[in-house]
């Protein structure tokens, strides 16, 4: 097993082991007959954010998402081909995210113990009426598109939108990869012999 396959297996294991339950919003075009198509070609992806992203993060995201999507489609019975003209489906993705800061509108509860307030050596807790501090939240969407090469039309689309609290680029890449893996799990399996 070569290094790229080991990395893909590790990513898939991580995604499966840490899986979060997300709602996959999927669409299949009427009359697309996806399950009779046997081959697909990877056509890349796009990372869209409000701020500029480090090229190494874009590259790592692209690599990880490609690995889990291709592995998922192969498990579903489809075969990857390198020539897009020979493929029966074209597969690509889009990741978009925004960062925002949120505060709770609920006041804190649970008054501190008297010993905590009266001892001068302890740091004083904030007032019970004080609102909690702001937290950074990322709202992200991962979409996997499957197009018909003959018409250029979308024949299937799966999307997950979720609010996450990723504290690092690595964690954000991992979350996007998990989302892509869950999306591919909702893709219809190929029917052999069709």
Give phi and psi for 160, each to the nearest 5: -130, 130
Assigned domain for 56 exists: yes
Q: Which of 52, 38, 125 is nearest to 88 (CA)?
A: 38
* Other CB atoms within 10 Å distance of the CB of residue 86: 10
In whole angstroms, how far apart are CA 175 and each of 66, 172, 181, 182?
Answer: 14, 5, 10, 11
pLDDT one-digit tens code per residue, 48-80: 766 677 888 888 999 999 999 999 999 999 999
Assigned domain for 125 exists: no
Assigned domain for 24 exists: yes
pLDDT one-digit tens code per residue, 121-132: 666 666 655 655
Assigned domain for 156 exists: yes
Contact 46, 93 (CB under 8 A): yes
Assigned domain for 111 exists: no
CATH number for position 156? 3.30.160.150
**Separation of alpha carbons 37 and 113, rounded Å:** 66
**Separation of alpha carbons 45 and 58, rounded Å:** 10
**Separation of alpha carbons 46 and 67, rounded Å:** 15
Q: What's the structural domain count of the chain? A: 1
Expressed as residue numbers, the domain containing 99 is: 3-105+133-185
Of 26-40, 136-150, 163-177, least confident by mean pLDDT is: 163-177
For the entire predicted model, the pTM comes to 0.71
């Amino acid at each position: 097993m070569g290094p790229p396959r080991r990395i893909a297996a590790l990513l898939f294991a991580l995604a499966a082991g840490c899986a979060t339950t997300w709602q996959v919003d999927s669409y299949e075009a009427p009359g697309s007959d996806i399950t009779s198509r046997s081959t697909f070609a990877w056509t890349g992806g796009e990372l869209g954010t409000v701020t500029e992203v480090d090229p190494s993060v874009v590259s790592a995201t692209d690599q990880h998402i490609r690995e889990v999507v291709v592995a998922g489609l192969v498990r579903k019975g489809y075969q990857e081909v390198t020539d897009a003209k020979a493929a029966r489906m074209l597969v690509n993705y889009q990741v978009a995210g925004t960062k925002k800061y949120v505060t709770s509108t609920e006041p804190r509860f649970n008054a501190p113990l008297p010993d905590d307030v009266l001892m001068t050596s302890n740091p004083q807790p904030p007032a019970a009426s004080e609102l909690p501090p702001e937290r950074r939240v990322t709202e992200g969407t991962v979409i996997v598109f499957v197009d018909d090469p003959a018409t250029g039309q979308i024949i299937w689309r799966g999307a997950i939108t979720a609010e996450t609290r990723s504290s690092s680029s690595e964690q954000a890449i991992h979350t996007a990869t998990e989302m892509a893996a869950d999306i591919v799990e909702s893709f219809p399996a190929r029917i052999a012999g069709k």
